[in-house]
Structure 1
Amino acid sequence: MDEFTTVKNPKGKSDIWRHFGLQKSKITQKLIDNTAVCMKCDMVIKCSGGGTSNLSAHIRRHHPSLLSSAKSLKSSSKTTTADVHVDQKQSETVSLPTIPKLFASKYASSSDRSKLITNKIARFLVKDLRPYSMVESPEFKDLISCLDPRYTVPGRKVFSERIIPEMYESAKENVKLNLKNAEQVSLTTDGWTSCATESYMTVTSSHITDSWELKNFVLQTRALPESHTAVHVTAVLNAAVEEWALPTGHGKPTLVTDNASNMVKAGELFGSLHLGCYAHTLNIAVQKCLSVKRASHLLAKIRRIVAFFHRSNIANNILQVKAEALGLPQHKLIIDVSTRWNSAYDMVSRFLEMQVAV
């Protein structure tokens, strides 16, 4: 096995060679290329092409006391231009902060990146109908921090009082521009009650563009705590026409509502062509037919059976077992709704499908 001795580098011009030597074979008496030996700890260091970056890095890591000044650090990497860049890179690598320190600096709220993420969150809240409180959820904040630790989620007030209202105003101006270019617009409206027993009234618009494209917009949903009389409904409609600057060159917009008496009266007070909703009119006609004695008795019997299975989990589970044994689909029974005539058809069809299992 070959043995080596450590000798000074005769060609070493950098001060760093004061701390390193070269390996010399005792047998061949030749110097070993591309390696150096630390005089302090006898560690063999690679130094390809005579570069000193690895040597400097070794001294900084393991023997910082040997570096008397910053000047000696600088002079230790002067051999070639390439070595300087490599040495600087190595120095930066050694002094890199940890991951938490790297992301310690947060985006400014006015930065482009912060604005982009904030707008994306606002769009998510609007499109998915999410509550404002979601942005203050610890789990949501943890998710955003995982995706981008430098971003800080604004509070709910920022979204509710500034960002989303700004989005609304922008969308509103776009809708008004579309309506301004329409020759004539028709309106539909109806009142409804939320789960919190709060009354609202929604107004939508429809028009056809010059290129025969149908455009529909939900213009507004307004609280209507008063009783839904014709006078109050008319007041909401008139306010909508004024707020959205609807075209009235051919008279007020055509109004489409259900056939309730207050809506019929509101159509008269509004002073435009009023049409009853076709689907509502059809439902009234069909319900009249279904109220015939023989039909209503049959539907009542099926409805009682279906309601029984809807109330009892045990009965519903037995029904599914029977259906599987008979090779029938694993379908649940459907109960009809008085406001949708086709639900009676769906109820009877599903009952006939599952009749043997029932």
Structure 2
Amino acid sequence: MQDHPIIAENESIDLVARSTALCGEVPDTSLFAKEKRPRITHIGEYVMKTSKLEAELLDLQIARYIYATNTPFIAVEHPEFMKLIKMLRPGYIPPNRHDIGNKLLNNVQGSLLDTCRKTLEDKTVSLSLDGWSNVHNEPVVCVSVTTDKGETFLTETIDTSGHSHTSEYLAELAADAITSCEINFRCHVRNVVTDNAANMAKMRRDLQKKIPNEILTYGCSAHLLNLLAQDVQITGIKEQVVQIVKYFRHTHLPAARYKQAGGNSLVIPHEIRWNTLTDCLKSYISNWHILVQVCEEYRDEINSNIGNKVKNYSIKRNAEDLFIRLKPISVALDRIQRENAIISDTVEVWKTLYEDLLSSQQPAHVLRKVDERAAQAISPAHYSANLIDPRYRGRKLTEKEATDAMEYIHQHCPNAIATVLQFKAGYDPFKSYMFSDDVS
């Protein structure tokens, strides 16, 4: 006897529907619905599996998060973190602090170094050196490189324990860092930038003599602008304003009264966060009327010395004068610290700063300080870059500065002199439309 093929449930309903329709009857599918077969299920549908590869990827991602956020390694063993992982991925066991500090650290470092090598290969880069102290108070020098797109990579940290940071030692260290960078990352180092400490400045001169015509060395303009801000301060004003601000931020009752009166956040300046003094003065000046109001209404609760300082118009006026003086420096500092800033911008930034301070009628000693710091920041190479930048074309250069720029170009790239002269004059092949704002 021949077996009949098994008809699926929905197919059987469809057959009955068609047959009853031919007889003019409406099918009753509820009978079939009551006889639905139970769906066959598998235990795998209720189990979340984590393969070995998936576990390794999760381990690496947790490690990357820990490193990127400077989170203590022991955080991965915290009960609440473990609970979170179990809720997100039952059955997966996250790495412990020893894994985070050893094998995963090496894996992530190796992966990042490979990425750096691929990004930096055949690129022309600017190398920066700066001294720091690590968490163990050990002296280290950090070496980083920056591409023409503003990408920055830390390439090396050098333990300098047992070495005095003389200019000779630093010059040797810089030369080794250049060689190491070019070998390990296959890039071309053409600039070396440092801060402007006396030993670093002499190191740059020594390095320039050691590798002439190959490496351009100069001091960091952002650091020089920060030093300029310190040069031009009005004696005693910073200290008095900071004392007032700290009192109304850190003393509970005055802080509460100030907040109730509608005062906005007051900023405390930090030495390692440039421009915070300008922010401090701005917050103090814009909220000064509220500070006076609080000191008047709650004079019995406010420290009398602080109250007298707040109501001292001389302090406020001097703070306003200092703010007017520091604001253009703050703007220049922000501009020079942009990721896409290049050395041709340096000339423009310092020139514009001098013009802004001159227009605000700053005293002669302030303008003199600007000239002194600008002389430290700008070299003939900067003038040359400004001269051939289509945005600037050396329009703000003095006759001597333009001459220095051309002499620098003649010394380092004599074949380009004719082209630069054509560029300056706007002669063929440089057409006038090339210098419109939207093109340049």
Length-normalised TM-score, structure 2: 0.49
Matches within 5 A, 1:94-105: none
**Aligned-partner Cα distance in 2 for 1:249–1:150:** 44
What's 2:160 paired with? Answer: 224
Tell me if 1:189 matches 2:129.
yes
Tell me if 1:201 matches 2:137.
no
Q: 8 Å contact 1:191–1:228 — kept in the other structure?
A: no
What's 1:336 paired with? Answer: 269
What code does the residue aligned with 1:198 have? E
Tell me if 1:135 matches 2:135.
no
What code does the residue aligned with 2:237 have? L
Matches within 5 A, 1:1-358: 86=38, 89=40, 107=50, 111-182=52-123, 184-194=124-134, 196-208=136-148, 213-226=149-162, 227-245=164-182, 253-271=190-208, 272-290=215-233, 295-321=234-260, 323-324=261-262, 330-337=263-270, 342-358=275-291
Distance of aligned partners of 1:134 and 1:155 in 2 relative to their CA distance in 1, 3 Å threshold: same
**Aligned-partner Cα distance in 2 for 1:131–1:304:** 34
Structure 2 gap ranges (5+): 1-29, 209-214, 292-440
| Matched position secondary structure for 1:253 | strand
**Aligned-partner Cα distance in 2 for 1:48–1:311:** 74
| Matched position secondary structure for 2:157 | strand
**Aligned-partner Cα distance in 2 for 1:312–1:357:** 16
| Matched position secondary structure for 1:185 | strand
Distance of aligned partners of 1:233 and 1:137 in 2 relative to their CA distance in 1, 3 Å threshold: farther
**Aligned-partner Cα distance in 1 for 2:153–2:75:** 27
Distance of aligned partners of 1:276 and 1:139 in 2 relative to their CA distance in 1, 3 Å threshold: same
Kindly state the Cα deviation for residue 130 of structure 1 after the two structures are TM-superposed: 2.3
What code does the residue aligned with 2:231 have? K
| Matched position secondary structure for 1:241 | helix
After superposing the two structures, state which structure 1 stretch, 269-278 or 302-311, moved more. Answer: 302-311
Distance of aligned partners of 1:193 and 1:47 in 2 relative to their CA distance in 1, 3 Å threshold: closer
Distance of aligned partners of 1:299 and 1:130 in 2 relative to their CA distance in 1, 3 Å threshold: closer
Point out the structure with max Rg over C-alpha.
1
What code does the residue aligned with 1:207 have? T
Kindly state the Cα deviation for residue 349 of structure 1 after the two structures are TM-superposed: 1.8
Kindly state the Cα deviation for residue 352 of structure 1 after the two structures are TM-superposed: 1.5
**Aligned-partner Cα distance in 2 for 1:126–1:255:** 28
Distance of aligned partners of 1:201 and 1:250 in 2 relative to their CA distance in 1, 3 Å threshold: closer
Q: 8 Å contact 1:176–1:244 — kept in the other structure?
A: no
Distance of aligned partners of 1:315 and 1:146 in 2 relative to their CA distance in 1, 3 Å threshold: same
Distance of aligned partners of 1:252 and 1:149 in 2 relative to their CA distance in 1, 3 Å threshold: closer
**Aligned-partner Cα distance in 2 for 1:320–1:248:** 54
Distance of aligned partners of 1:181 and 1:254 in 2 relative to their CA distance in 1, 3 Å threshold: same
Kindly state the Cα deviation for residue 302 of structure 1 after the two structures are TM-superposed: 2.2
Q: After superposition, give the CA deviation of every residue in 1:39-61 in whole Å (9 maximum; x if it has no partner).
A: xxxxxxx9955x9xxxxxxxxxx
**Aligned-partner Cα distance in 1 for 2:33–2:235:** 97
User: Greater helix percent: which structure?
Assistant: 2
Q: 8 Å contact 2:267–2:279 — kept in the other structure?
A: yes
After superposing the two structures, state which structure 1 stretch, 307-316 or 165-174, moved more. Answer: 307-316
Kindly state the Cα deviation for residue 340 of structure 1 after the two structures are TM-superposed: 6.1
What's 1:5 paired with? Answer: none
Kindly state the Cα deviation for residue 242 of structure 1 after the two structures are TM-superposed: 3.3
Q: 8 Å contact 2:181–2:187 — kept in the other structure?
A: no
Of all paired residues, the percent bearing the same amino acid is 24
User: Greater strand percent: which structure?
Assistant: 1
| Matched position secondary structure for 2:196 | coil
Distance of aligned partners of 1:154 and 1:247 in 2 relative to their CA distance in 1, 3 Å threshold: closer
Kindly state the Cα deviation for residue 146 of structure 1 after the two structures are TM-superposed: 2.0
| Matched position secondary structure for 1:145 | helix
Kindly state the Cα deviation for residue 194 of structure 1 after the two structures are TM-superposed: 4.0
Kindly state the Cα deviation for residue 256 of structure 1 after the two structures are TM-superposed: 1.0
Computed over aligned residues only, the root mean square deviation of the Cα atoms, in angstroms, reads 3.7
| Matched position secondary structure for 1:336 | coil
Structure 1 gap ranges (5+): 1-33, 36-45, 52-82, 325-329
**Aligned-partner Cα distance in 1 for 2:73–2:146:** 30
Kindly state the Cα deviation for residue 311 of structure 1 after the two structures are TM-superposed: 4.5
Distance of aligned partners of 1:334 and 1:250 in 2 relative to their CA distance in 1, 3 Å threshold: closer
**Aligned-partner Cα distance in 2 for 1:132–1:249:** 33
Kindly state the Cα deviation for residue 205 of structure 1 after the two structures are TM-superposed: 0.7
Q: Which runs of 4+ in 1 moved over 4 A?
A: 46-49, 246-252, 337-341
